[in-house]
Amino acid sequence: MPVSGFGFPDTRTRLVNRVCRNARAYPPQGLHVLMNAIFKRADAAQMPKQYQETMPKLDMALNTRVYVRLNPVSRQNVPLQGEFLGTSHYDFLILRLPSVPGLVKKLIPDTRVEVRYLANAAVTTFLTEIITYSFKPTLLLYTTYPDRMSILETRRYQRISCSLPASLFSQHGEGVGVLHDLSSGGCRVDVDLKGQSDLRRLKAGESLILQTVLSPQGKVSRVACVVRSTETSGSRLALGLAFDHNDVSFNNALDGYMLLLRSLE
């Protein structure tokens, strides 16, 4: 049952209420040690609201694969492959770790931890500290919320967010979709497979023609593309496309459109 009042500092009350609302997500032993750790750190967690607003908000999908290195200053520690299970923003993170012999003895409170993960073609790295852990039914690590992050873009080309109607012409048939994540090298096209299910047969390495409008005047641009990746989820298909760099007309239209988008940022 959520607590209120009882002389607790505001931050402590807020933390306890969040954990109580999600109590079923924690094994009993893990909940017990986590609550104790929260009480221990509650007073230290008091921070001005304006400071919280400057802290990064971790944008990581549940079950994201992470690589965890304990005491990163010592390069003798090999990164462990784990899994992100959840967070209470600005409070703590929950990571699942593999059952490695001798690992539990190293999970000492306040030990520095380096966490790294890949998402949206960018590698995000941050430092955190161990709060506590639980080992039943699986090894869970509770860490502090990071106060800064390092993001390394792995794409060769910088991408710009957009939503443009697009037409596709392939050996499997024609279809329409929405163009996103535009760059000088390629784009992503999301396709609703309802009524155009033949596009489901597209595979990486195949070629197709992409048609869209890149000019304010409504001029249609076409370019040959190579499918770099396909991802299907239900009736949705996401295509990663690479443009033909030899098409001068398309390249000029693309450069003009991207320059226009950047000027509006």
Q: How is residue 57 annotated by DSSP? A: P
Q: Of 110 and 257, which is predicted with more confidence? A: 110
pLDDT band at 7; cut points 50, 70, 90: very low
Residues with Cβ < 8 Å from 79, sequence gap 6 or more? 67, 68, 69, 114, 116
CB atoms within 10 A of CB 181: 18
State the amino acid at position 120 in one-letter form. N
Confidence of residue 160 (pLDDT cuts 50, 70, 90): confident
Q: What's the predicted TM-score (pTM) here?
A: 0.48
- What are the residues facing 166 on neighbouring strands? 177, 212
In single-letter form, the type of residue at position 52 comes to Q
**CA–CA distances in Å: residue 14 to residues 1, 133, 166, 240:** 13, 21, 47, 43
What would the mean pLDDT of 129-150 be, rounded to a whole number?
90
Contact 219, 187 (CB under 8 A): no
Name all domains of the chain by residue range, CATH numbers in brackets: 10-153 (2.30.110.10), 164-264 (2.40.10.220)
Alpha-carbon dihedral of residues 121, 153, 243, 172, nearest 10 degrees?
Answer: 0
pLDDT at 264: 61
Tokens of residue 123, six digits: 């590698």
